[in-house]
Chain A
Amino acid sequence: MGLFDVKIISEHFGVPEAKGLEYYERKGGYRNARKACGMAPESIAAEVQASNLRGRGGAGFPTAMKWSFVPKDADTVYLVVNADESEPGTFKDRHILFWNPHMLVEGMIIASVALKVRNAYIYIRGEMAREYQVLQAAIDEAYAKGYLGERIFGSGTSLDITVYRGLGAYICGEETALLSSLEGGRGWPRLKPPFPAVKGLWGKPTIVNNVETIANLPWILEHGGKAFADLGTGRSGGLRLVSVCGHVNKPGVYELPLTVTGRQLIDEVCGGIKGGRKVKGVIPGGVSMPVLAPDELDVPFEFDALQKDERIREVEVRPGQKFDLGGNRTLRTMAGSGGVVVMDDTTDITQAAWRIVHFFAEESCGQCTPCREGTGWLAQVAHRIAFDHGRAGDVDLLASIADGIAGNTICALGDAAAWPTLAFLTKYRDEFEAKVRNAHRPKGAA
C-alpha cells in the first residue's frame, strides 16, 4: 500500500522510547525548532502559508490566515494548544500526546517564534491523566536541555510552556470556552467577534490551535511549505490523522492522504466491516458532523470535498426542504475532527442518534436558551422514538427542534447537536417513522 507509506506524525507511534527526548532528537527532532529561533517570524509564517495547513481541531480553518489576524503591534500574544480532545469518535490527539509529545513541543516553539509568543499553554483534557504525565515529562526534559525557558538554544528567544488540565467538560474544547476555563472560571463560551486572535486570553491576542495542527510544523520547516502542500490536494495540505471506531475489523488511528475515500478507509485501511456485514452509516468527523449513507462513501475525506461534493445529499429540515446554513449555503457534511464512526447494518440508527443528542444535552453549558432547552428536548424526543414510546408527529417535532437551535446560539455546540439530528432524519427517516408506528405494540404483534 504505497499510497499510505508517508508519515509525518505517526511514524513512531507504538515505539516506547519514542516518548523520550533522546530518541526524538536522534531522529532529527528539535533541529527545526533550533532553526526557527534563527529565522524571521515572517519567513516561518510564509512557509505555513505555502503549506496549505488547515486546522485539525474541527473547522479546517487555514492556519496561516488565523495567524495573520493577530494585530501587528500587539505587545503580548499567547499561544494555546487545544488538547481537550473530547469530540466523541475522536482519539487521535491522545496518540500524539502519548507517543510523540516532543513533536508537539517542537511545533509550539516554531509557532511561538512565528507569533512572538513568550508564554504558551497546553490545555489538556482532565481525564487524560496518563497523557498529562508523559507530556509533562517531555516538557521537563526540554527545559533541562535548554530548549524551553530563557534564551532557548542559546538564541534571543525565551519561551515557557505550561500544561493546564481541564476538569471534565466537553464544551471546554470550544476555543472561547477553553480560554474562560484557562483563566480559572466556568467554561463558558464567549460571543465572536471579537475572535481570540484579536482579543483572547486575558484580553490579549491569542492563537488557539489543535494538537495535530501544531505537530505538523516541524515537518513543514524541514521540507518546506510547498512540499507539505504537494502531499495534500486542492486547498488542503499535508496528511491527516484519522481515528476510526465502530464496526470495523481494525479500528485505530491512521495517518492518511486526504484523497482517501470513506470506502477505501473502511475496506483497505481498516480491514472491512466486522463479520463481513454491510455498512449502514459513517460519521466522517466526530459526532457533530452529518452522517454519510453507504452510497455517499466514494468521496475523499477531505475538507472541501465533504462540504461540496454533490454525491453527498444535502441535509433537509423536512423532505424537500433544504436546511439553510446561512448565506444561501446548504449543508452536506464536514471533515470535522477526523473521528470516523462506522455503523454496520445491525445498528439501530434511532438509538445511535439518541445517544448523540443525549451527549449534547449533557454537555450544553446552559448559557443560551435554544441550546439548553433544545438539546434537552431533542434528547427526550429521540429517546421516546428510539425506545419504542414515540408518538405521532415526533419525527417532525425532532426536526423542528433541531432547526430551532441551529444558528441561534453563542457557540457551535448548538449546531453540533442540530446538524447530525437533521442528517439522520434526512437519510434514515423511514427507520424513525417505523419506530414510531410500531411503538407500544407487544412483541411479535403484526
Chain B
Amino acid sequence: MAGSEPLTKMQRHPSFRARKAVPGKELSPQELSPQIEARIQQLWPRFPEGRAGQALCLPVLYLAQEQFGYVDAAVVDLVAARLGLTAAHVTGVATFYFMINKARPGRYHLQVCTNIGCQLMGAYDVFERCKKRLGVENKGTSADGNVTLTEVECLAACGYGPVAQIAEREKPEIPLYFENLDAKRIDAILDALAEGRVPTELGN
C-alpha cells in the first residue's frame, strides 16, 4: 500500500475556470440537444409547480456533459437559460459534484477506486501502475489526450476489488464495472484504451 501526499483543502477545491466561449470552436455550444429537451419535457411534471427548473439542474447538467464532454461557462449559461436559473446557481452545483468535468477530459476517463476495501486488495499497486504507464499523476491526462486517470472513492463493489470504471467522453455512459484488478488485468485494460476501445469483455 502506498499513498500520495494528501492535498490541502485549497488544492482540492475544484476551482471552476470560467472560459469565454469562442465562436466557431467546439467549446461554444449553441444549444442543448433534442434528447435533452425531450427529457426536460418528460421530467418537468414530476416536480411541484415552480420547483422543476431548479430540480432539473442536476439531470440537465449531466446530460449536457454527455453532449459536450464537459461543463464550462458556456454550457452553464445554456443550462441556466433553459431552466430559468442564474448562472451562479448552476456554477455552484456544477463545481460541487465530482462527476461533472470542469475541463475537457481525455477520451477515456479511467476511475480507479483506492478506498479501504480495494486498498486492502492492492488498489494502490494498480493505481501506481496506471500512473506509470500513462505517465500522469492523479487527475492527469496522458500526453496524447487519450486517457484521464482519477483516483475515486468507494464504488460500492468493495467485495470485488480493486475496482475501476471507465467513462467515454461524449458517449452515453458505459455502465460496466472492472473488478478484481491486478497487474495483468489493468494492463489489458490500458492496452485496449490505447487501441481506442473500451474492453467490455473484461467488465461486468
Q: Is the CB of B158 within 8 A of A183?
A: no
- Given A246-B117, A352-B116: A186 and B159 interface contact (C-beta under 8 Å): no
Do A85 and B156 touch (CB < 8 A)?
A: yes
B12, B51, B154: the one contacting A183 at CB < 8 Å is B51
Q: Which residues of B contact A130 (CB under 8 A)?
A: 175-177
Contact for B160 among A165, A251, A352, CB less than 8 A: A251
In the complex, residue of chain A having the shortest beta-carbon distance to the beta carbon of B53:
A184
Q: Is A99 an interface residue (CB 8 A)?
A: no
Q: A91-B158, A167-B100, A383-B3 are in contact. Are A184 and B120 (CB under 8 A)?
A: no
Task: Decide if B46 touches A125 in the complex (CB within 8 Å).
Answer: no
Cβ–Cβ contact B156 & A125, under 8 A: yes
The answer, yes or no, to whether B40 is at the interface (CB within 8 Å) is no
Output the residue of B61, B97, B157 with the most chain A CB within 10 A. Answer: B97
Asked if B46 and A162 sit within 8 Å, CB to CB, the answer is yes
A172-206: CB near B (< 8 Å → 1, else 0) gives: 00000000011111110000000000000010000
Evaluate contact between A379 and B99: CB separation under 8 angstroms: no
Residue A372 is within 8 A (CB to CB) of chain B in the complex: yes
Within 8 A of B (CB), among A125-168: 125-130, 132-133, 160, 162, 164-168
Give Cα A91–Cα B56 distance, bound, in whole angstroms: 28
Q: Does A339 contact B (CB under 8 A)?
A: yes
Main secondary structure of the interface of A (DSSP, over half): mixed
Q: Does B188 contact A (CB under 8 A)?
A: no
Tell me if B97 and A169 are in contact (CB < 8 A): yes
Do the beta carbons of B62 and A355 come within 8 Å of each other? no
Q: Give the docked Cα–Cα distance between A201 and B131 (Å).
A: 43
B195 CB to nearest chain A CB (Å): 23
Q: Does B135 sit within 8 A of A, measured CB to CB? A: no
Point out the residues of chain B lying under 8 angstroms from A247, CB to CB.
Answer: 120
User: Within 8 Å of chain B (Cβ to Cβ): is A356?
Assistant: yes
Fill in one digit per residue for B27-38: 1 if any A CB lies within 8 Å of its CB, else 0. Answer: 000000000000
Q: Tell me whether A263 is interfacial, beta carbon within 8 Å.
A: no
Q: Are B175 and A129 in contact (CB under 8 A)?
A: yes
Per the bound structure, the CA–CA distance linking A52 and B93 in Å amounts to 39
Closest to B83 in A: A184
| Least CB distance, B10 to chain A, in whole angstroms | 10
- On whether the beta carbons of A133 and B175 are closer than 8 Å, the reply is yes
Q: Are A119 and B46 neighbours in the complex by a CB distance under 8 Å?
A: yes
Interface centre among A125, A126, A252 (most CB of B within 10 A): A126
Contact check, A86 vs B158: say whether CB atoms are below 8 A apart.
no
A379 to B4, alpha carbons, bound, how many Å?
11
User: Which residues of B have CB within 8 Å of A352?
Assistant: 116, 119-120
A243 CB-CB contact with B under 8 Å: yes
Whole-angstrom distance between the alpha carbons of A110 and B10 in the complex? 47
A404 located at the interface, meaning its Cβ lies under 8 Å from any Cβ of chain B in the complex: no
Cβ of B58 < 8 Å from any Cβ of A? Answer: yes
Interface core residue of B98, B119, B154 (most chain A CB under 10 Å) = B154
A88 interface neighbour in B48, B59, B116, Cβ under 8 Å: B116
Please determine whether A355 and B46 come into contact, CB atoms closer than 8 angstroms. Answer: no
A284 to B100, CA, bound (A): 33
Given A168-B97, A363-B153, A358 contacting B58 (CB threshold 8 A): no
Q: Which of A65-73, A299-307, A343-351 contacts B (4 or more CB under 8 A)?
A: A343-351
Query: Do B116 and A160 touch (CB < 8 A)?
Result: no
Could you pull out 19 A-B pairs where Cβ atoms are within 8 angstroms? A76-B48, A88-B115, A91-B158, A91-B159, A125-B156, A126-B97, A167-B62, A168-B98, A184-B53, A184-B93, A186-B96, A187-B97, A243-B159, A245-B120, A245-B158, A246-B116, A247-B120, A354-B3, A355-B3
